Amino acid sequence: MRNVGALVAALLAADAGPARASLTPSEAEQVRRDVATATHVAQVRALVARPDLSPSEAQAALAVPLTTTPIDSDHAAFLHELVFSETSTPSRPVLSVVAIQALIARADAVIAEHPYDLDRRPSTLDELRRIYSLIEEVAAAGPGANIPTSSREQCSLALRGHVAHNPAALGPQSTVGPFLAQARAQALLAVLDFAPDGATRRIEVADALGLAGARRGLLVDRGALLLDAGGADARAASAQVMLDRLLPGRDPLEAILVGGDPARLVARDGAVVAIAEPAAGGPAPALWGNDVEPPPVDEWSTAVARGLASVALSRVTAQKPELLAQIERDGGADAVAQEMAMLAIDAPRSVQVAAVHFSSGHPETAALLSDAIGALAPATGRTGPSSIPVGPARGGAASVRMTQIALNPAGAAVAFRLEGRLWSVERGPGGTVTGLRRDGSRIPQAAVAR
């Protein structure tokens, strides 16, 4: 490759300090051959991590052959073994850095080779995903991995430089195809995971990624990266609104992945939530059915509300088995998660639907509403918090508050106040909804006018 000679020269010229021993030509050729064939990992480790090599010489020894070597599954396993085997532990402060720098050199070369058709080359994108997954393994390594802060800082600096050097492909606000977006998502997660914990962590990462507007606000305010193919900034604003309503102040998400497979991503902290990519220009799913006019909400807000609601519900029910049992009797987690999404979008309309259904002889929706409110207000006692944020009527952006929430022993809501009206849900001994009241008056088995 034309740039290999320049790479070697740059790496060696960057080294300063007293002269040290270098790899002999035969040793350098041995490393080149072993890296190219993904063999003799112990031999490569012994040569690259030699204490008499300068940092730039150690990097060059690995980066030069790796820059021209595609990272297939065998090479990914080879590099993982190089860095993370038990025998690598004493040398891991060096090996982690030189491996990351070499992988980034390879990723730079791959992107440079395909400036116009990268998103149409599945095998190349698979290679990038393997590269960034290996980088994330170092980023996600725990305190006992013997990767000191100084090594992590060097890895972080190299990765941030790689993202900045390739803004069209890796800039989080740059529009790309769906397959490149998935590979890019892993690179951006690694940038976040290399950042040290601290009060300014989110701001530093936002600066490093060049985030602006609502995407920056989502990361700085809630600690969540929006990982998509570079959609409109309004997506991030809507995602934060739904996040504040469905997961207010709870365990942070690490990222919201749009249209990808979170099982193919590695992350250090939190969770990566998958949101289905809505059909372009398609109608929002009819969560409210045909009983009321649906709110004027776009398909993206509906998709993100449904995705986050499922996460919120699973987190709550993991801590409240009694509520989970009630939910299973009332219709199941999917139905309650949908009800939670409806509350996040337009709570007054959701309550109206439950009342209409109850008056028509179908108390099931009121039961789902009761469970959903309980999931959004997960208190340990019988009385929930004084209020929770929910979506306003007509799909507005600003939240309204549902107040005076009372929970039964199972954790489902039996009373709440919304828009000045006090609602109560009555349940029989088996948990079945037997009554619904508004301001103390029973909702009759007849049409209800709001």
Query: Could you write out the three-class secondary structure of 412-428?
Result: CEEEEEECCEEEEEEEC
Summarize pLDDT for 409-418 with one digit per residue, the tens: 999 999 999 9
Checking if the pLDDT of 9 tops 50, the result is no
Same domain, 140 and 249: no
**Report for 162-171, 249-258, 437-446: range of highest mean pLDDT:** 162-171
Q: pLDDT tens-digit profile of 324-376? A: 999 999 999 999 999 999 999 999 999 999 999 999 999 999 999 999 999 99
Q: Which of 111, 148, 116, 140 is nearest to 128 (CA)?
A: 111
Question: Is residue 331 included in any domain, yes or no?
Answer: yes
The residue with greater pLDDT, 16 or 61, is: 61
Domain-located, residue 157: yes
| Residue 20 pLDDT exceeds 70 | no
Residues 16 and 62 in one domain: yes
- The number of folded domains in the chain is 3
Characterize the bridge pairing of strands 421-427 and 441-442.
unpaired
Give the model's pLDDT for residue 286: 66
Query: What is the extent of the structural domain holding 136?
Result: 1-169
Lowest mean pLDDT among 117-121, 311-315, 377-381: 377-381
Please check whether residue 211 lies inside any domain of the structure.
yes
163 with 175, same domain: the answer is no
Question: What 8-state DSSP symbol labels residue 389?
Answer: E
In a domain, 265, yes or no: yes
**Residues 205 and 249 reside in one and the same domain:** yes
Same domain, 180 and 254: yes
Last residue of a domain, one of 277, 312, 336: 277
Asked if residue 137 belongs to a domain, the reply is yes
Do residue 363 and residue 250 come from a single domain? no
2 and 121 share a domain? yes
What's the whole-model pTM score?
A: 0.85
Q: How would you classify the pairing of strands 421-427 and 433-438?
A: antiparallel
194 and 113 in one domain?
no
Q: Are 333 and 327 in contact (CB under 8 A)?
A: yes
CA distance 369 to 364: 9
Statement to judge: residues 257 and 330 lie in one domain: no
Q: Stretch 301-309: mean pLDDT, rounded?
A: 91
Residue 447's pLDDT band, with cuts at 50, 70 and 90, is very low
Judge whether residue 19 has pLDDT over 60.
Answer: no
Region 444-450: what's the mean pLDDT? Answer: 56
Of the three residues 113, 140, 169, the one that is the final residue of a domain is 169
- Considering the chain, what is the average pLDDT of its residues? 88
Within 331-422, residue ranges assigned H as helices are 333-359, 364-376
Is the residue at 294 inside a domain? no
**What pLDDT, on a 0 to 100 scale, did the predictor assign at position 280?**
62
Q: Residues 149, 155, 159, 162: is their CA dihedral positive or negative?
A: positive
Edge-to-edge strand ranges of the sheet holding 413-418: 387-390, 400-407, 413-418, 421-427, 433-438, 441-442
Q: Do the domain assignments include residue 291?
A: no
Going from the C-alpha of 162 to that of each of 108, 112, 189, 230, the distances in angstroms are 7, 12, 14, 18
Residue 12 located in a structural domain: yes
pLDDT of residue 1: 45
- Say if CB 255 and CB 224 are below 8 A apart: yes
Structure confidence at residue 250 (pLDDT): 64
- What was the pLDDT predicted at 299? 86
Of 111-115, 182-186, 280-284, 363-367, which range is least confident? 280-284
pLDDT in tens, 56-73: 899 999 999 999 999 999
**Residue 160 backbone phi and psi in degrees, to 5:** -60, -40
Q: What is the mean pLDDT of residues 161-169?
A: 97
